[in-house]
Structure 1
Amino acid sequence: MFRIRSADHAADFSALRSVREVVFVEEQQVPREIELDALDAQSRHVIAEDAEGRPIGTGRLTPERKIGRMAVLRGWRGRGVGAAMLHALLRQARGAGWESVCLHAQANAVAFYRRHGFAAVGERFMEAGIEHQAMRLRLDRPVAIEDREAAVALTVALVQDARRRLVIRSRELDPGLLDDGQVLEALRTFGTTGRGNEVHVLLHDAAAAQRAHAPLLVLAQRLPSVFALREVDDPVDRNDASACIASDAGGYYHRPLGQRFDGEAALAGAPRARQLLEAFDPVWQRSRPCSELRALGL
């Protein structure tokens, strides 16, 4: 497990440098005098830490509205650390009221940023001896989600941004998404912090989720005051193949075909999120409570 937090440049300088020194200077042979610059002290920083509080990743957001210094230690790559840091930085950018952010992606990271909605701008170029691609993301538009990695990262960020209310509509608790460890941890944190938090989960096939021993059902069993589960009952509702997650903070992820990851999402899409919440409520009211899922004996 790991956590992402905002970092103070002065107080956390040694931790930030310990990761960047390994990744940029030692692995990629970037000169130290280039890796350190005057923007560091003016930037917003995030740091990823392991369960023991040791730094494993860094990233920054400069006054130029540019994301940079994204670095993850080798042993932690491919485990969602980079995506979590990226969304933490995007959350800060949205909080500052910025309409867009940019970055210079190393060539081997272009696909990663594309999955999170960034678009290439111009031709590739060399920077510090490494091929780069300028990329830009509009924060006031939805992002296309096309694969599991992007779906997981977006869902985690959406849950983390939620204030008090989260709704989930799923056929059978989305294997590959709602059973992902990062998503479950975000949901557990949401359910155990604050008062009055609620998660309404609307299923199309409760029996299938039960047979699969879906981990989210175990979490719901442990936090029955937070999680409520119902199964659609009306024939019209059952014919709706879509799936969605929406929150009271204006975030949403909607998939026209609920058994696929493909869809659109936004973490600052209040009008569409409100529309999804309003459409969810009447279906929830006419659906049956899943009392049989309260004690699974897993």
Structure 2
Amino acid sequence: MNQPRFQVEPVDYANALQDLRQVRETVFVQEQQVPVELEWDALDPLCHHVLARDAQGQPIGTGRLTPEHKIGRMAVLSAWRGQGVGDALLAALVEQARQRHWPEVSLNAQVSAESFYARHGFVAHGPRFQEAGIEHQAMRRRLGSPTAIDDVHAARGLLTALISQARRQLVIYSRDLDPGLFDQPIVLDALRRLATRAEPVEIRVLLQDAGTPQRLLAPLLPLAQRLPSTFLFREIDDPVDRNYPSAYVANDAGGYYFRPLGNRFDGEAELDGAGRARQLREEFARIWERSRACTEYRALGI
């Protein structure tokens, strides 16, 4: 059996201080030129810390959770970036907050890492600002209750998180593939990564109007054309279903994004709302069964 390449675990601050320093001062002080006196603060001894170690036990990544319910000091050594360490650290910190029954966690993300946090369900709020000479964006994630989505920027971030979180199935109920959402590079890239996983994945798309995406050359269609066994399209056939005003996306991992009015972006989303996600998927399945296959897409090889 292969030995894990790295592991993440909560650590005691005093006992792990040397390892925390090794990572944080390499990343923040040496690489990013943050003054060392700004890197360490009075909150550190009061925080919940997590540490990633490689198979030899060497520290490779850190993160902390403050008494103010803020995630911070997320750092991964350069040789380990892009290998899932940051994802594992963030998941461990969110789980620490969930175990403490906190309703919400927040963070100040470096703008270069904003899309990373968005993939994990964090929504940007407020204007960008400077911290230690680096541009940041405040973000937050609700735990155990829906997050309000009130602009297209937040909608794209949560949609990307839902797609990334999906295990084997994603369902999309849309009027016409929602220009502004499913034509955006960040969303298309997440769909591409989901669709090309090693294990079988199914993405079902139910449209009220199948003609408009085809006429407007929606960029999702060529992707689906290359992966016809993964993407399945149907169009609403029952006149009663055509009067349904809402739109939604739901996955098989407890995540959903629901919009009361399908022509708007505002609504609510949750990454751990298993009950509501299951309800939407069951509703989707009923409508799917009485809808028609998009034969006009098949003519394109879809």
Using structure 2 for the length normalisation, give the TM-score: 0.68
1:61–1:89: 8 Å Cα contact kept in structure 2? no
Q: How does 1:72-87 map to 2 (within 5 A)?
A: none
* Change beyond 3 A, Cα 1:178–1:16: farther
Q: In the alignment, does 2:189 pair up with 1:185? A: yes
Q: Residue 203 of structure 2: SS of its match in structure 1?
A: strand
Cα deviation per residue 1:234-283 (whole Å; 9 max; x = unaligned)? 01100012110001100000001111110000000000001101111110
Q: Residue 219 of structure 1: SS of its match in structure 2?
A: helix
Partner amino acid, structure 1, of 2:214 = Q
2:151–2:265: 8 Å Cα contact kept in structure 1? yes
1:254 to 255, 258, 262: 258
Q: Aligned partners of 1:197 and 1:170: how far apart in 2?
A: 20
2:180 to 176, 180, 201: 176
Q: Aligned partners of 2:235 and 2:140: how far apart in 1?
A: 41
Q: Aligned partners of 2:149 and 2:250: how far apart in 1?
A: 15
2:194–2:201: 8 Å Cα contact kept in structure 1? yes
Consecutive unaligned residues of structure 2, counting only runs of 5 or more, are 1-5, 9-15, 53-60, 76-84
2:48–2:64: 8 Å Cα contact kept in structure 1? no
* Change beyond 3 A, Cα 1:154–1:92: farther
Q: Residue 43 of structure 1: SS of its match in structure 2?
A: strand
1:20–1:69: 8 Å Cα contact kept in structure 2? no
For residue 87 of structure 1, report the CA deviation from its aligned partner.
Answer: 8.6
Consecutive unaligned residues of structure 1, counting only runs of 5 or more, are 1-5, 26-30, 46-57, 72-84, 121-126
2:24–2:73: 8 Å Cα contact kept in structure 1? no
Cα deviation per residue 1:44-67 (whole Å; 9 max; x = unaligned)? 57xxxxxxxxxxxx9934375531
Partner amino acid, structure 2, of 1:187 = L
2:172–2:206: 8 Å Cα contact kept in structure 1? yes
For residue 104 of structure 1, report the CA deviation from its aligned partner.
Answer: 6.3
Cα deviation per residue 1:131-177 (whole Å; 9 max; x = unaligned)? x9x99754011000011111111011111111111100111111111
Q: Residue 182 of structure 2: SS of its match in structure 1?
A: coil
Q: In the alignment, does 2:70 pair up with 1:66? A: yes
Cα deviation per residue 1:84-105 (whole Å; 9 max; x = unaligned)? x999866444445443354465
Q: Residue 178 of structure 2: SS of its match in structure 1?
A: coil
Q: Which residue number corresponds to residue 50 of structure 2? A: 43
Partner amino acid, structure 2, of 1:263 = G
Q: In the alignment, does 2:242 pair up with 1:221? A: no
Partner amino acid, structure 1, of 2:65 = T
1:170–1:204: 8 Å Cα contact kept in structure 2? yes
Q: Residue 144 of structure 1: SS of its match in structure 2?
A: strand
Q: Residue 245 of structure 1: SS of its match in structure 2?
A: strand
Partner amino acid, structure 1, of 2:225 = Q
1:159–1:247: 8 Å Cα contact kept in structure 2? yes
For residue 293 of structure 1, report the CA deviation from its aligned partner.
Answer: 1.2
Q: In the alignment, does 2:277 pair up with 1:273? A: yes
For residue 181 of structure 1, report the CA deviation from its aligned partner.
Answer: 0.8
Q: Residue 199 of structure 2: SS of its match in structure 1?
A: coil
1:103–1:135: 8 Å Cα contact kept in structure 2? yes
* Change beyond 3 A, Cα 1:258–1:165: same
Q: Aligned partners of 1:279 and 1:41: how far apart in 2?
A: 41
Q: Which residue number corresponds to residue 206 of structure 1? A: 210
* Change beyond 3 A, Cα 1:191–1:36: same
1:143 to 142, 147, 158: 147
Q: Which residue number corresponds to residue 55 of structure 2? A: none
Q: Which residue number corresponds to residue 78 of structure 1? A: none
Q: Aligned partners of 1:135 and 1:168: how far apart in 2?
A: 26
Q: Aligned partners of 2:139 and 2:147: how far apart in 1?
A: 14
Q: Aligned partners of 1:201 and 1:95: how far apart in 2?
A: 32
Q: Residue 265 of structure 2: SS of its match in structure 1?
A: coil
Q: Aligned partners of 2:143 and 2:152: how far apart in 1?
A: 21
For residue 180 of structure 1, report the CA deviation from its aligned partner.
Answer: 1.0
Identity among equivalent positions (%) equals 49
Cα deviation per residue 1:87-129 (whole Å; 9 max; x = unaligned)? 98664444454433544659x9xxx99x956899xxxxxx989
Q: In the alignment, does 2:300 pair up with 1:293? A: no
Q: Aligned partners of 2:204 and 2:268: how far apart in 1?
A: 21
